[in-house]
Structure 1
């Protein structure tokens, strides 16, 4: 392997130097476990801007390449983080994986299951290489607290959940880049792009869905192929039912809210904060608003490694570095990212075909040849 389990910083290549790539580069520059060794972007000004950011933070200027192949050929890299357009994620990740490197992929894993499946199959043949998908909200203290309560059975039988992503995006947002709102490179709209993080948390809390019934529509934006509203009902193996709502039409932007309800307790996460928690087994006076939130979040934080704190991206990177050095799986695995992608595709397929879709059938490739459509007929 290219990276032995030592305390030396891991050498990172950031592929794609847009907004998300810049964020990962900044996180790496603030981590003692990482150093940015290379930047990859065909658009020189983007790479130069990130390079200036890094030197301003006291890091040596990284090498700059126009494509990943050139960066791999020069060597000196341990980990590649893929921050390009969604429709290119799996292919670039596979290229890095086959070069013997550890790989981190921004959400979503890809826009289609076939390239994601090839990546998954290749990763299975390379168990010593870590492949992680960015889903930083699993590392929020509120999310960790709810997962901890679920694992302890404090909510009893979980019967239902609701996940609302009530965001607003202007027409100018979609007009700002030709790839935005396209099936080929964005892979979907309000759900694939904005809602996938919240969907991932829903799956982390409730498990793999059995089937999905959904509708999607483009109602408030022009010149896009994808949906700006998606509504779905998910049924889980436990029998639990969940509603999922993702929108980029909710002016003035109402944020994200995730609720979990059980026979012995419930929790609400809003704007990444634990705003409600109650369990039947609570001692008298435990439910006292801010007090219980602090107690639960402190308990969740105790499970994190030293040096982790309230920046969920840095927290996830700390976990990824630990996974590489300890030769273990990261908290958010390739399979987790694949399940989230398969569930999004199940939503789109249900909306297109007008019937329930079994998620296992999507995972197995039964619908790989099917297209998904918005109500105005654009297809992918």
Structure 2
């Protein structure tokens, strides 16, 4: 096993610098190449991080460069294509969220990575936030008793200019959806990770404000497999963007937290000392304002997953859950019926 893992990045858009920064800061990693179909973007990012090799064609890069791990930072609908090519080249994959935008693509990604014995990790950095980790443990420890409600409020603002900034944004083909699939996917992943798997959904979704194909506003009622109910609201249409907020209630207590930390931590047994949290998440109104702390953890995790031959923090099977849930939401909105996940 090499002293340093050689990384490449495919896609030099908004999220790529988060990966580049995390890779460059890791003493076990070396960023050796960057690829983008717009070579100027690849060259700009490469110059910022002292990377000498840039490519316009990822297949070419996979053939010519010695790469251990690739960060997939392209539009969501292209995740499978690049992941599958990397796996066939024997390269481990750290994929940005969502895993992909169709069930078929996600299944193929997972299968090809497994068959080629490479790791497939997906970046859901909110799972590393202190408040989320503490809340999940409290639920699993039974502090809330029987769960009653698990709600997620994911109210973002994205301007018309944001959707015009790249041709793939707000399209079914490459974005795979709107406020839920792009922005809300983090919160949807988080609520089901904390509260438990979802049994069924009933949803309304539509582009109420933005001139896009996909939804900018969504309201969903949720039935969890453990019997609890919930509400998910997701938008990119409200100004200003709000802190994302999670409210979980059980027969014995309530936990509420937002991007800035805990708002409520109350239990029948009187344990009301609110836990201190260090890392917070932003990005309600500006996609570049999200915290980059999670990416440092995910880069280190994929390196150790390869070295220790273990599953990454969020492997493919786990990463697909949020997308499967969102696809069920879209089906419910389209058919006007409750849909099983």
- The answer, yes or no, to whether TM exceeds 0.5 is yes
SS in structure 1 of the partner of residue 314 of structure 2: coil
Look up the match of 1:174.
163
* From 43, 46, 67, the counterpart of 2:57: 67
Alignment of 1:281-292 (within 5 A): 281-283=269-271, 287-288=272-273, 292=274
Unaligned runs of 5+ in 2: 280-290
Residue 27 (1) aligns with residue 18 (2): no
How has the CA–CA distance of structure 1 residues 41 and 189 changed in structure 2, closer, same or farther, with 3 Å as cutoff?
A: same
* From 346, 357, 378, the counterpart of 2:339: 357
In structure 2, C-alpha distance between the alignment counterparts of 1:125 and 1:265, rounded to whole Å: 45
Look up the match of 2:319.
337
Residues 256-288 of structure 1: per-residue CA shift (max 9 Å, x gap): 1111111222211211523322233455xxx24
Higher Cα Rg: structure 1 or 2?
Answer: 1
SS in structure 1 of the partner of residue 304 of structure 2: helix
How has the CA–CA distance of structure 1 residues 280 and 324 changed in structure 2, closer, same or farther, with 3 Å as cutoff?
A: farther
Asked if the contact 1:230/1:246 (under 8 Å) is kept, the reply is yes
Asked if the contact 2:110/2:120 (under 8 Å) is kept, the reply is no
SS in structure 1 of the partner of residue 275 of structure 2: helix
* From 65, 76, 84, the counterpart of 1:86: 76
In structure 2, C-alpha distance between the alignment counterparts of 1:141 and 1:155, rounded to whole Å: 18
How has the CA–CA distance of structure 1 residues 104 and 210 changed in structure 2, closer, same or farther, with 3 Å as cutoff?
A: same
In structure 2, C-alpha distance between the alignment counterparts of 1:112 and 1:46, rounded to whole Å: 28
* From 13, 22, 32, the counterpart of 1:18: 13
Look up the match of 1:366.
none
SS in structure 1 of the partner of residue 49 of structure 2: helix
Look up the match of 2:288.
none
SS in structure 1 of the partner of residue 15 of structure 2: helix
In structure 1, C-alpha distance between the alignment counterparts of 2:185 and 2:219, rounded to whole Å: 13
* From 234, 238, 241, the counterpart of 2:226: 238
In structure 1, C-alpha distance between the alignment counterparts of 2:292 and 2:122, rounded to whole Å: 19
In structure 1, C-alpha distance between the alignment counterparts of 2:69 and 2:305, rounded to whole Å: 12
Alpha-carbon RMSD: 1.8
SS in structure 1 of the partner of residue 240 of structure 2: coil
Look up the match of 1:346.
328
Asked if the contact 2:201/2:340 (under 8 Å) is kept, the reply is yes
Unaligned runs of 5+ in 1: 56-60, 299-308, 360-380
SS in structure 2 of the partner of residue 143 of structure 1: helix
In structure 2, C-alpha distance between the alignment counterparts of 1:94 and 1:310, rounded to whole Å: 26
In structure 2, C-alpha distance between the alignment counterparts of 1:98 and 1:255, rounded to whole Å: 41
Asked if the contact 1:26/1:53 (under 8 Å) is kept, the reply is no
Residue 267 (1) aligns with residue 262 (2): no
Compute the TM-score of the two structures, normalised by the length of structure 2: 0.92
Asked if the contact 2:76/2:98 (under 8 Å) is kept, the reply is yes
CA shift at 1:76, angstroms? 1.1
In structure 2, C-alpha distance between the alignment counterparts of 1:190 and 1:350, rounded to whole Å: 16
Alignment of 1:142-181 (within 5 A): 142-181=131-170
Compute the TM-score of the two structures, normalised by the length of structure 1: 0.83
In structure 2, C-alpha distance between the alignment counterparts of 1:310 and 1:273, rounded to whole Å: 17
* From 101, 112, 118, the counterpart of 2:91: 101
Look up the match of 2:215.
227
Residue 141 (1) aligns with residue 123 (2): no
In structure 2, C-alpha distance between the alignment counterparts of 1:132 and 1:150, rounded to whole Å: 25
Look up the match of 1:367.
none
SS in structure 1 of the partner of residue 144 of structure 2: coil
Asked if the contact 1:139/1:316 (under 8 Å) is kept, the reply is no
In structure 2, C-alpha distance between the alignment counterparts of 1:9 and 1:330, rounded to whole Å: 18
* From 178, 203, 207, the counterpart of 1:189: 178
Residue 278 (1) aligns with residue 266 (2): yes
Residues 55-90 of structure 1: per-residue CA shift (max 9 Å, x gap): 2xxxxx241111111111013100011100111001
